[in-house]
Amino acid sequence: MTADPAQAGAAAAAGPLLASARRLILPLALAQFICSFAGSNMNVMINDISEDLDTTVKGVQTTITLFLLIMAVLMIPCSKLTDRWGRKRCFNLGLLLYGIGALLSALAPGLGILILGNSVFEGVGTALLIPPVYILATVWFADVTKRAWAFGAISGLGGIGAAAGPLIGGVITTAISWRAAFIFQALVIVTILLLGRRLVDPLPADPTRPFDAVGAILSAVGMFCLVFGILQAGENNALMAVLLAAGAAFLLAFFFYIRSLERKGKEPLLSTSLFRNRTCNLALATQNVQWLILLGTSFVVSVYLQTVRGYSAIKTGVIFTAATAGILIASLAAERFARRHRQRTLIVVGFLITLAGIVLLLVLVPGTSSIAAFVPGLLLIGFGLGGMLTPSVNVVQSSFPEELQGEISGLSRSVSNLGSSFGTAIAGTILVSAAASGNRSYAIAMASVGVIGLLGLAAAWALPPKIERA
C-alpha cells in the first residue's frame, strides 16, 4: 500500500515542529521555575540569614511575603503593559530587573538591602516577565492538548521550582553560603536571556494603548493592605483590622472605578467581563488555593524543622525532595492526563490527593522524630498539586479569546501569587505567633492550610463538567 504523501509529510515535519516548540517553551518554563524558586528557597535559609544579618524569623518571613506580595499587586498592571510595550520587551526587562535584585541580595549587608533586592527588584522583575510567559504560550498553541503540554511544562517547572527551592537552597547554603543561592538565580537569568534571544512575539505592541494608572494604584494598594494586615496578626490586632478594612475598601473602589470607566467607553485596567465568567472565577479560586497550599506548606514545614527540630538547611531541603518528585511525576504526565480526563476531574482529584497529604503530615509528623514521617504527606501534596496546576491554568486562559489574553494572564498570575502570599502570611503568622509553640503551632498552621484546601475542593467541584471558551 502506498503511503499518503500528506501523511508522510506531516510525520516528517512533526519532529522539527516538536523541537521548535521545545525551544520556544524552554526559556519561558525556566523563567517560571526561577521565580517560583525564589518564593520558597529562602525558607531553608531562615537561621543562616537571621544570624548573618542579625534579624529574626519574622524579618525573613516579611521579606519572603513582600516578594510574593509585590509580584501579586503588580502582575495585573504589568500584564497591561505587555500590550503597550510588547511581550518580549517586558519579558527581557523583567529578567534584567530580577538579575539586579539577585545580585543586590547576594551582597546585602543587612535586612533592608535584602528586602530591596529580593522583595522589590526581584518582585517587580517577576511581575513584568511572568505575564508574557503565559500570553505567548496561549497564542503559540491554539490546540487544547498542545496548550496543556505547554502549560504543563511551564506550570510543572514552576511547581518544581517552588518544591525544589528548599532542596537547592539548602545544598547551596550548606556547601557555600546563603548568598550563593542568589548568585545561582542570577546565573539562571543570564541563561534565560541567552535562550530567549530568538523568541518571536506574534502580537505587535501598541504604544498608543491607554494605561489605567488609577485602577493600578487602587488594586495594588487594596491587595497590599490585605496581605500586610494578615502579617500583623498576633502582634498588632488593631492595625490588622484597620489594614484589612482598608484593603477591602480599596478593592471595592477599584471595582466600581473600572465599571464606571467601561460605562464611559474607556479602557479600564481590567474588563469587568472577566469577573462575569463563572467558570473562570472558580478556576481562579482553585489556582489561589493551590499556591497557598504549596507555599504555606513549604514555609510551615521548613520553619518547624529548623526552629523546633534544629535541622540544618540541607537536611531541611532534602526532606522536600518528596514534594518535588510528586510534582515532577504529575507534570510529566500532564499532556496524557489532558487527553484522557476532563479538566474538572483532574482538579477535583488533585485536591483530594493534596488534602490526603496534609492529613498525613498532621497525623504522622508530631508523633515521631523520624524524617520518613514527612515523605508520604509531601509526596501526595506534590503529586496532587502537580496534577491540577496545569488544568487550572488551562481553564482560565482558554475561557477568553486572544484579545483578552493580556488581561486574563495578569489576573491569573496575580491571583496565584496572592495565594502564595496568603500561604506564607497566614500559615507563617500562626506558626511564629506567641500563642502556640512546637508541635502545637505546627499542627494549627497545617490544619489552617487544610481548611483552606477544602474551600479549593469546593470551588473545583462547582466547575462545570465541560469547559467551553467564553
Q: What is the CATH number of the domain that holds 117?
A: 1.20.1250.20
The answer to whether residues 66 and 144 belong to one domain is yes
90-125 pLDDT, tens digit per residue, is 999 999 999 999 999 999 999 999 999 999 999 999
Give residue 2's pLDDT band: very low, low, confident or very high (50, 70, 90). Answer: very low
When pLDDT is cut at 50, 70 and 90, the band that residue 434 belongs to is: very low
Residue with cell 516548540: 21
Look at residue 20 and tell me if it is in a domain: no
Tell me: do 166 and 311 sit in the same domain: yes
Which pLDDT value is given to residue 23?
Answer: 75
pLDDT at residue number 431: 62
- For residue 3, the model assigns a pLDDT of 43
What distance in Å separates the CA atoms of residue 138 and residue 57, rounded to the nearest whole number? 40
Statement to judge: residues 283 and 141 lie in one domain: yes
Candidate ranges 336-345, 361-370, 432-441, 457-466; pick with highest mean pLDDT: 457-466
403 lies in the same domain as 430: yes
What's the total number of domains in the chain?
Answer: 2
* Contact criterion met (CB below 8 Å) for 318 and 167: yes
- Which burial class, exposed, middle or buried, applies to 451 when counting CB atoms under 10 A from its CB (0-12, 13-18, 19+)? exposed
Last residue of a domain, one of 268, 288, 309: 268
Q: Are residues 248 and 305 in the same domain?
A: no
Write down the pLDDT at residue 403: 62
What is the model's pLDDT at position 405? 62
Q: Find the mean pLDDT for residues 353-359.
A: 94
Please check whether residue 2 lies inside any domain of the structure.
Answer: no
Residues 69, 39: Cα–Cα separation, whole Å: 10
- Residues 222, 80 within the same domain: no
Same domain, 110 and 43: yes
**Together in a domain, 188 and 147:** yes
Q: Are residues 302 and 398 in the same domain?
A: yes
Quote the pLDDT of residue 357. 94
Decide which of 233, 253, 268 is a domain's last residue: 268
Highest mean pLDDT among 123-137, 293-307, 348-362 belongs to: 348-362
pLDDT at 104: 95
Contact (CB, 8 A) for 270 and 430: no
Residue range of the domain that includes 367: 25-212+269-461
Residues 95 and 194 both lie in one domain: yes
**Considering the domain boundaries, does residue 13 fall inside one?**
no
34 against 14, higher pLDDT: 34
Is 163 within a domain? yes
Residue 6 domain-assigned (yes or no): no
- 30 and 158 assigned to the same domain: yes
* 242 and 438 Cβ atoms separated by less than 8 Å: no
| Residue 229 and residue 163 share a domain | no
15 domain residue, yes or no:
no
pTM of the shown model: 0.73
Q: Considering the domain boundaries, does residue 470 fall inside one?
A: no
Domain's final residue, options 268, 287, 306? 268
Q: Distance from CA of residue 71 to its chain's centroid?
A: 9
pLDDT at 192 over 80: yes
Q: What percent of the chain has pLDDT over 70?
A: 85
In a domain, 136, yes or no: yes
377/251 Cα distance (integer angstroms): 36
